[in-house]
Each structure stands twice: as structure tokens, then as C-alpha cells.
Structure 1
């Protein structure tokens, strides 16, 4: 069994927390002009981090998927990991927002049927009107999972033929090209451009190349530490740039090449250092953070629904009072606390038991065959 890379779990927690503050800062913005305000406003850069990490983890945990039965078990493992908590939150959103049915029943049915099927990212009209809008990234991940058994041998072939650097450079260049391609459209930025799975695919392929490389033995010299420091500096600089430097809208890919480069270095060198040095993770604060990292998918699912609930008429007066009195810090503390408690409940009461039950059910019904490596501890989501 492969050792767990807890550094990747911590980075997953960081990315999920970044998405949380990105969505909440629209309700209670921090002081303008500061580093924290720019960091919150650039939370869309968490998406490349999620998608690269997803490809890396899958390629690291699944070195090969040799036959049809292995592909079937891979898909079932992904379904058991993702769908139960996703379905529960979608049903909860339907119950809480049933009044939207009366305002526009046709669009309501359309958007939620697509969301239930995991297809909402392909039809961008579901993005602004969907009940739990941030789940577009789950739809993107489903597309990646579908392609992964075919992508893995292709990436392994090019990695062996060209080495690790050339495929990464080509993917980053292609990703950068996509990032700048919006200048060709006079209509400007569109949400469908932001969520379309095929345009997010280069990030996932980058992760697959990194995961393939992580399985190969190599020396850990000063270059690894230098690469990690460089990636941290680059990531810190790009993610705290003023939004006005990155284009006319917040959500854009103008700096995508730099972000992809920084994310690749950050993930790869963190994992490589942990592979060789095996840091101790036994201290209580680190164990708590690792647990929260394992529950970060649940955190991602619950927080946007909480943001939507804040728009309910019954809560609007409270939100307005907090804004008028300038109690932004108190609002942040309450929102983050409720999000964490709800995420832990979803993780413990739905996500973990449903995954165990589905895996046992599939194991009893499937014919005996060599087991695939476990991947639950590394699964990532945005």
C-alpha cells in the first residue's frame, strides 16, 4: 500500500478554505486594498489547484487500470466517494429553495435535472440558477474521472518518451493559450467559459503527469527545496495581485499559465519532500487539520448552500444589521464555524458510512480479482 501524502490533504484543505472565503467575501468584504482582500477576491485560482491535485492523486494511487473489471471498480469507487454527500446536499437544497419552483418552474426543473445527472457544467445556464451553484466543479471532476482510464496510459507513454518536463511545458502553454483566448470575444467574459470541463482539462492532465512522475524514484537534492520555495513565492505573488491587473472581471484565466506553473511546483515538491523525509504528523493540531482536509469535500458542498440561505428574506435583516454596524469579523467567525460544523456532520453521518456501504455492496457482487489501491484519503474536490 502506498503511503499517504498528508501534505496533499493539507493543501486540499487550504484550497477548500480559499473557496469558502472567496464566496463569503462577496457578502462581507474585508477592508479594500489589503493583501487579504486581494487574496479573497482571487479565490477562483483555487480551481486549478483542485484539478491538478485531482489528476496527481489519481495517477499516484492508480499506476495502471489493466482491464474492464478494474475500470468498473475505479468508476464505482469514484461514485461511492462523490455521489452520496452530493445527492444529500442537492436534495436539501431542493427542500430549502422550493419557492423557486413557482417563479420559473421550467428552468428550475431543467437546471436541477442536469445537476442531478452531474452535467451542469456543460450547460452554463444552470450555473447562475442552480440551487448549489459551486457544484459545477463536481460535474467537471466527473468528466475527468470518465477520461482517466484512457488518459493514464497516454500520459505514461509521453512521459517515458519525452521525459517529465516537456509534456508539462506543453500543457502549461496550452493552458495559458486558453487563458488568453477570451480576448478574441467581443462580448467579454462568460460564465460558461469559466466552467466548461473541456477547458479545464489541461489542469487535470498536468496533475496526471505529476502523479506518474511521483511514482518514479529520484534523488531529493537542493533543487527540490529550491523548487518548493520558488513555487511558494510565485503562487503567493500571483494570488495576491490586484484584480484590476488580471482583466476586467474577477473570474478570468489571464494568469492561468503562472498559476498552473506555481501549483505544479507546489504540489509536486511538497509530495516529493514528504516521500523522502516522512515528517511526523502526530501533533494534535496537525491531526485536526488532516481530518478537516479529509472532510474538505463536505465543506465545499455545504458552504455555498449556507451563502444562499443568507439571501432568504428571514435572514436579510440580520445580514443588513451586521453590515451597517461593521461587524464583518463576527460574521466571518459565525459563518466559518457553522460551515465547519455542518461539514463534519455531513462527512461523518453521510459521506463515510455511505462510502463504506457502497464499497461493501460492490465487493459482494463483483467477481474476485486483484484489488486496486485505495484512494479515498487522497480524493480531492473543488
Structure 2
């Protein structure tokens, strides 16, 4: 039996945090011309935001569906998979179709319609049409693994034994670093990210290895829901929040880790897991409250649309004429505001109505509402 009752209730700080993770990815794709090299590298390291999203998906999905999949995974799987489809596919399909038509309807399309591009060895296929969409292809695979992972973790006894849970989490982190060490050894260390045998291909794009990020999120949710006694002190988790952020920022600023095998996954996954868990554990800290304001939460809710459209607007950014550093900064802010405005519009006018309509097609009076607002990208 679980050591403590299942925790319920919304965790708005995690929704708010989504917006800042999406900003990390945005700035990694749109550097400010003329900026200091070290600062530029720091912003370019925002590709690590993708790792955050994979960990967050594991946490939120487990937190939502933990009790149902622990007791009866088979009967709950169809409704769960449909909910995932309704949450992600409308915006995914709309943005991919827009780019496809923009390009004159040329080239392969089935691999993108089925969200299978991340399995392809060619990086130009993986990032084809709408570049950021490759991670949605990974997410689709991770969604399919969840009904298998949770019963497996249950059989391993981590629902009942906190020591086993922590041990498994440490083993996963060890495996991530071991994979990074192996793929950073000669001759792979000299391979370009476009090479199918590169660390970038295996650690960043390949869905199978991203199960480790997803699993860390699931384990964090199980810890939060089942292994934390009522009345436990929140102050240590406050320190863990800031320490996790410090680790992430330090890795992003590291010249040696930038574009290294470690940066694709291992150097960030553990810190992101602790950050997510600590914000869930301590929802009264200044950081949690700042991330839980209505405006930030709303932007977090629209961050999936933001993520999916920000690269589609790249021609607008590329058309800018050379200017002073101040002009470049101002233009960057205007461009960011444009993407945010469009993403809010898509979220309100397309994402939410489509999700509600599709969910309503198979709605049931017996459907149990999730514990928290869905916060996948």
C-alpha cells in the first residue's frame, strides 16, 4: 500500500514554468545580433528546454493518471490516449499543414502526419516542415509507453518503497551520463549533429532514449503523490528549487558543455526533475507564487502554440536589415511580442475549442477529471 494518500489539486507554478521553458527554446533559435559571445552562448543553450518538457510530461501525466493506471491500466488506456491526441494534434496538424502548403505541397508528408519523423536517421527529415515538431514526435512515443511504464514501476515496488524509487531514479541518471560518456568518445566526438551516429541524434532526437527523461518525471510524481507525509517541511524544497535553477544556469553558461553529448540530456535532466518536484512540494515560496500569477499561467497554457509557431515566423526575423545593437534588441522584443500574440490567439481560437470538441465526442459521465491542468507543451 502507498505510504501516504494521493495528493490532489492544481499546481499552477508548473504551468507558468512552461512559458519560460518555451522562451529558452525561442532564444536558442533567435540570437540577438551583436551580443557578447558568452551571453549569446548562454541563450543558445536554451535548447535544453526540450529536456525540461519531456521530464514535465512524465510528471504531469503520472500525477493525472497515477491512481487509474495503478489499478486498471487496460481499461483506462483508450481514454488516456484520446485525451493526449486531443491535447496535441490539432495545433500540431495545423502548423505542419500550413508549412507544407507554404512550400507548395512538395516532399513527403505521411511521416509528419503520423508524427514519426524523430525515428528517421536524416536530421533534415527530423526537422523538416516545422523544426520544433520533432519533439512532438518523441512525445507521441512517450505517451504510448506510459501505460506500460507505470505497471512496470508498480511491480518493481517503487509505489510502496521510497528507497527503491530513489535508487531507480539514480540509476536512470547514471545511465544518461554513461550514454553521454560513450557517445562523446572518439571518433563520435568529432561527428556533426547532422550525422546519424552523432550524440545529438541519439541523445537529443531519438525517442527511445528520451524514455529516461520521461521516467524521471513519472518517478517524481510518484514520490510527490505517494511518499511524502502530510505536514512534511517545505523549506528544504525551497532551497532545492534555487539550487536546481543555479545548476541549469551554470550548465547553460558552460563553454565546455555547450553542444556536448552531456548537454543534450544528462547535464539537465536531473536538475529539471528536482526543480519540478520542488515546485510541487513547496507551492508557497516566492518563486512558486511568481510562476502562479494569472498572466504567467495563461502564457504557460498558450506555450504549446508558442512553441509550435515560433520557427514558422523565421522569415520575418531573417528579413531584418542590419542595425545597431540597440535596434537589434528592440526588434527582438517586438518579434517576441508578435509570436506571443499569435500564440495566444491560436490557443484561444483553435487549441482550446478543438480540444474540447474532440474530447466531447467521447465524453462520459464516468470520466474522472484530472488532478491538475494538463501542461504538456
What are structure 2's unaligned runs of at least 5 residues? 1-6, 195-200
Instruction: Give 2:84's aligned residue.
Output: 78
Contact 1:281 1:287 in 2 (8 A): no
Instruction: Give 2:243's aligned residue.
Output: 230
For the structure 1 residues 170 and 129, does the alpha-carbon distance in structure 2 shift closer, same or farther, using more than 3 Å as the test? closer
Instruction: Give 2:4's aligned residue.
Output: none
Shift of 1:11: 1.4
Q: Please give the residue correspondences for 1:114-263 in structure 2 after superposition, counting only pairs within 5 Å.
A: 114-125=111-122, 126-127=124-125, 130-158=128-156, 159=158, 160-161=160-161, 162-184=163-185, 186-187=187-188, 188-191=191-194, 192-193=201-202, 194-216=204-226, 217-218=228-229, 219-242=232-255, 245-246=256-257, 250=259, 252-254=261-263, 256-263=265-272
1:38-58 Cα shifts (integer Å, max 9, x gaps): 321111211221111110111
1:258-303 Cα shifts (integer Å, max 9, x gaps): 31221111111111001xx498999999211110000100000010
1:55-90 Cα shifts (integer Å, max 9, x gaps): 011111111321433110000000000001111111
Q: TM-score, normalised by structure 1?
A: 0.84
Shift of 1:128: 6.0
Instruction: Give 2:40's aligned residue.
Output: 37
1:303-343 Cα shifts (integer Å, max 9, x gaps): 01111x348xxxx6x42x23578731122122101111110
Contact 1:53 1:380 in 2 (8 A): yes
User: 2:235 & 2:113 partners in 1: Cα distance?
Assistant: 48
Contact 2:279 2:288 in 1 (8 A): no
User: 2:25 & 2:147 partners in 1: Cα distance?
Assistant: 29
For the structure 1 residues 136 and 376, does the alpha-carbon distance in structure 2 shift closer, same or farther, using more than 3 Å as the test? farther
From 343, 365, 370, the counterpart of 1:374: 370
Instruction: Give 1:104's aligned residue.
Output: none
Instruction: Give 1:273's aligned residue.
Output: 282
For the structure 1 residues 30 and 44, does the alpha-carbon distance in structure 2 shift closer, same or farther, using more than 3 Å as the test? farther
1:350-375 Cα shifts (integer Å, max 9, x gaps): 10000110111112xxxx57424327
For the structure 1 residues 328 and 281, does the alpha-carbon distance in structure 2 shift closer, same or farther, using more than 3 Å as the test? same
User: 2:289 & 2:209 partners in 1: Cα distance?
Assistant: 40
User: 1:376 & 1:94 partners in 2: Cα distance?
Assistant: 35
Contact 1:155 1:208 in 2 (8 A): no
For the structure 1 residues 379 and 185, does the alpha-carbon distance in structure 2 shift closer, same or farther, using more than 3 Å as the test? farther
**C-alpha root-mean-square deviation of aligned residues, in Å?**
2.7
From 98, 101, 113, the counterpart of 2:104: 98
Aligned residues: 352
SS in 1 for 2:174: helix
Q: TM-score, normalised by structure 2?
A: 0.85
For the structure 1 residues 200 and 165, does the alpha-carbon distance in structure 2 shift closer, same or farther, using more than 3 Å as the test? same
SS in 1 for 2:37: coil
Shift of 1:251: 6.2
**Structure with the larger helix share:** 1
For the structure 1 residues 230 and 156, does the alpha-carbon distance in structure 2 shift closer, same or farther, using more than 3 Å as the test? farther
User: 1:114 & 1:146 partners in 2: Cα distance?
Assistant: 17
For the structure 1 residues 167 and 326, does the alpha-carbon distance in structure 2 shift closer, same or farther, using more than 3 Å as the test? same
User: 1:282 & 1:8 partners in 2: Cα distance?
Assistant: 11
